[in-house]
Amino acid sequence: MAITYSDFLTQVRNYTEVDSNVLTDIIIGQFIRNVELDIAGKVDYDDTRKYATSSFTSNKRYLVTPADFLIIRSLQVFSTTDQSGDRSFMEKRDTSFITEFNGSGATGLPRFYANWDESTIVVAPTPNIAYAVQLNYIITPPSFTSSNNTYLSEYQQGLLLDGVLTEAFAFLKGPMDMYNLYKSKYNESIQNFALQQMGRRRRAEYDDGVPRIKVPSPSPNS
């Protein structure tokens, strides 16, 4: 059962033993948002996975991302202007590589991409026709608010609370033992959430959600 936003704020104040004069609704709301974005940046979970189809523009090396875009998971290009042709996964490189590659004036089927800015992808070589493209990505996660419950508030309340308490004790500048406690709990909760998501779907190198955090694996001798 999803927790209400009001009850969640009350839990944060109860755990920190700080009232609403210090931990205002606005401040806790920012903690929640920070944690939501942090989790989305570390774990590909079901509620944030999405794909969009589009086309490159002939002789233009830039591709605008969707409005809800946060992180690229993969970029696939088709060998035709529709999705009937062969598809291939493009390789991620840095912008300096793309710039140097395109400096030669090469055109053709794009093979490489990089994040140009928050809303634009740059590719190389420059497409010579309007090739179809599919972007698999992580969306900007929805916000848990007084009028909106989210996947995290419904199914990962403990993870969300541990993260917010970590933010809260950092903001309050102590006690450090409490900050360290919830930081440790938060990191452990993220690891467990990542493993849970890995177990929910088939594994595939490109299309499946590999957590972007390192999941510890015990050595054979431990």
Q: How far is CA 162 from the centre of its chain?
A: 19
Same-domain check for residues 129 and 155: no
210 within domain boundaries? no
- According to the model, what pLDDT value does residue 56 have? 96
Which pLDDT score is estimated for 198? 81
Is residue 36 located within the same domain as residue 77?
no
Looking at the fold, whether 25 and 64 belong to one and the same domain comes out as no
**Residue 18 forms part of a structural domain:** yes
Look at the chain and report how many structural domains it folds into: 2
Three-state SS letters, 68-98: CEEEEEEEEEECCCCCCCCEEECEECCHHHH
Indicate whether 98 and 113 sit together in one domain.
yes
- Same domain assignment for residues 34 and 54: no
Q: Strands (DSSP E) along 12-131, which ranges?
A: 49-55, 62-64, 69-78, 87-89, 91-92, 107-108, 112-117, 120-124, 126-127
Q: What is the mean pLDDT of each run of 10 residues along the chain (222 residues)?
A: 91 96 97 96 87 94 93 94 93 94 92 94 96 94 94 95 97 93 96 86 47 45 45
pLDDT at 205: 42
Beta bridge partners of 133: 54, 77
pLDDT of residue 2: 77
Residues 107, 130 share a domain: yes
**Domain around 36:** 5-46+142-199
Q: CA 29 to CA 113: how far, in whole Å?
A: 35
